[in-house]
């Protein structure tokens, strides 16, 4: 089957209902046993339009998928059937990839696009060595979400999301495992309700705020464990860490978060103008606390309190991944007797062919606008502004926000009155 036919098939499959905990919609189904549309994620992703302007959902059934994948389409959600039994794995050392590069990348999952969501699955780099760089997830896009995932490697830099200019990353309910700096974002990062395990006597996490002082790594309600002698965090660029309500195992040594300097390799050293920015609230260690992770609210940025900290704050208001607010109409225009343009406050995903129904029973049928913030509808009757004085209901189809968020933000009613 050629790629054009596969792409058409993908579009025709829109609306397929899959019973998962949080995603009820899937455009494509991947199943290793052949019961889906594709046997591999690579085949499924290659069937999607190269320039994708609205969200596609790929549902992956339980199984072990031994493949590296490249995510180069925006607005993509990959949902596993179950966190522990939907497994994407591959053995890949970064140094081996550098010696023999391929177009896919140095990680098991390589992300070069924006607004990507990975949910309810395991991603693991199976190379056996403890220590060397061995990415499970590597990314240069922005607005990347990891939900309820296991992401593991024996090596370092397990999760390396490295868009240092405007990268924004949200992780929740995850388990991370690796060696040196195994969760190491550049940019903005907010992680909540997640567990970390360090395989070597090195720092578990790392952060870089290379050129933007506002960038930060926020960890809330997270737990840290590892081999005896591991330490919590370090950095060798400008960085900013916030730890709130975190717990540390007894095996964590008494070594504060630190700026790493390279006396023997001065070319690796970076400018360090902002000083140490490590902020703690209500963090405790099994076996006894260390002085350095005690509450230091008097050192926090001016006016900021623990109650102010949430995902939207962490991203400086640039992104609200926990928002449940549906897109809203900001205005409408009637063209002639039977065409109406609806202008929204964000880009949209359109599923199926939505039909709207006015309070008078007139039906408006979707015409065009997928991936845009303007949608057009036609009516087989004359429409006037009076038809939009009451909320407009959905007769069929769905419209939702395109930007990556934890929950799908579907529109239930349209309020068009101006």
The token pair at 68 is 């590296």
Question: Would you tell me how many other CB atoms lie within 10 Å of the CB of residue 213?
Answer: 11
What per-residue confidence (pLDDT) applies to 10?
36
For residues 79 and 23, the answer to whether their CB atoms sit within 8 Å is yes
Could you read off the pLDDT of 357-413 as tens digits, one per residue? 999 999 999 999 999 999 999 998 999 999 999 999 999 999 999 999 999 999 999
Closest to 125 measured CA to CA, from 43, 175, 67? 67
Q: In CATH, which of 2.40.50.140, 1.10.1740.10, 3.40.50.300, 2.160.20.10 is domain 80-314?
A: 2.160.20.10
Could you read off the pLDDT of 67-79 as tens digits, one per residue? 999 999 999 999 9
Q: What is the pTM of this model?
A: 0.93
Question: Would you tell me how many other CB atoms lie within 10 Å of the CB of residue 74?
Answer: 21
Looking at the chain, the domain(s) classified CATH 2.160.20.10 span: 80-314
Which 8-state DSSP code applies to residue 405? -
Question: Would you tell me how many other CB atoms lie within 10 Å of the CB of residue 370?
Answer: 15
Alpha-carbon span 219 to 329, nearest angstrom: 35
What per-residue confidence (pLDDT) applies to 415?
87
Q: Does residue 9 have a pLDDT over 80?
A: no
Could you read off the pLDDT of 82-120 as tens digits, one per residue? 999 999 999 999 999 999 999 999 999 999 999 999 999
Confidence of residue 12 (pLDDT cuts 50, 70, 90): very low
What per-residue confidence (pLDDT) applies to 396?
95
Alpha-carbon span 73 to 113, nearest angstrom: 6
For residues 125 and 26, the answer to whether their CB atoms sit within 8 Å is no
What per-residue confidence (pLDDT) applies to 397?
96
Closest to 313 measured CA to CA, from 252, 249, 244, 370? 244
**Region 342-346: what's the mean pLDDT?**
97
The token pair at 114 is 């924006």
Bridge-based pairing of strands 348-357 and 392-401 is antiparallel
What per-residue confidence (pLDDT) applies to 15?
38
Q: Does residue 418 have a pLDDT over 80?
A: no
Confidence of residue 417 (pLDDT cuts 50, 70, 90): low
Cα first-last separation, the chain? 50
Alpha-carbon span 50 to 166, nearest angstrom: 23
* pLDDT > 90: percent of the chain: 90
For residues 75 and 45, the answer to whether their CB atoms sit within 8 Å is no
Higher pLDDT, 319 or 268: 319
* pLDDT > 70: percent of the chain: 94
What per-residue confidence (pLDDT) applies to 134?
98
**Region 43-53: what's the mean pLDDT?**
94
């Amino acid at each position: 089957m050629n790629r054009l036919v596969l792409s058409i098939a993908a579009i025709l499959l829109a609306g397929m209902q899959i019973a998962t905990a949080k995603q009820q919609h899937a455009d494509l189904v991947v199943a290793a046993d052949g019961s889906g549309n594709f046997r591999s994620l690579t085949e499924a992703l290659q069937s999607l339009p190269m320039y994708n302007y609205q969200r596609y959902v790929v549902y992956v059934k339980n199984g072990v998928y031994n493949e590296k994948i490249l995510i180069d389409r925006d607005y993509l959600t990959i949902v596993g059937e179950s966190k522990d039994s939907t497994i994407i794995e591959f053995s890949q050392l970064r140094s081996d990839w550098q010696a023999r590069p391929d177009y896919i990348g140095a990680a098991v999952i390589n992300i070069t696009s924006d607004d990507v969501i990975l949910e309810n699955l395991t991603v693991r780099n199976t190379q056996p060595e403890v220590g060397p760089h061995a990415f499970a997830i590597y990314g240069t896009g922005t607005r990347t979400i990891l939900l309820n995932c296991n992401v593991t490697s024996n090596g370092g830099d397990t999760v390396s999301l490295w868009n240092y200019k405007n990268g924004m990353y949200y992780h929740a309910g995850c388990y991370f495992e690796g060696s040196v700096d195994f969760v190491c974002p550049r940019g903005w990062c907010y992680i909540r309700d997640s567990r970390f395990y360090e395989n070597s006597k090195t720092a578990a996490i790392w952060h870089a705020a290379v050129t933007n002082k506002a960038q930060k790594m926020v960890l809330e309600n997270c737990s840290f464990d590892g081999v005896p002698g591991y330490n919590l965090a370090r950095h060798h660029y400008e960085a900013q860490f916030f730890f709130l309500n975190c717990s540390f195992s007894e095996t964590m040594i008494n070594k504060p978060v630190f700026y790493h300097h390279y006396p023997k390799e001065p070319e690796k050293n970076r400018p360090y103008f902002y000083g140490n920015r490590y902020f703690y609230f209500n963090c405790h260690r099994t076996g006894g606390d260390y002085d350095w992770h005690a509450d230091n609210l008097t050192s926090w940025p001016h006016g900021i309190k623990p109650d102010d900290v949430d995902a939207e704050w962490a991203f400086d208001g640039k992104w609200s991944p926990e928002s449940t607010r549906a897109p809203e109409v900001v205005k409408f225009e009637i063209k002639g007797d039977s065409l109406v343009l609806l202008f929204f406050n964000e880009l949209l995903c359109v599923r199926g062919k939505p039909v709207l129904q006015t309070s008078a029973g007139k039906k408006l049928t979707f015409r065009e606008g997928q991936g845009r913030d303007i949608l057009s509808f036609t009516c087989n009757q004359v429409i006037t502004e009076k038809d939009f004085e009451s909320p407009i209901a959905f007769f069929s189809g769905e419209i939702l926000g395109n930007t990556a968020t934890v929950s799908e933000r579907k529109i239930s009613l349209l309020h068009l009155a101006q």
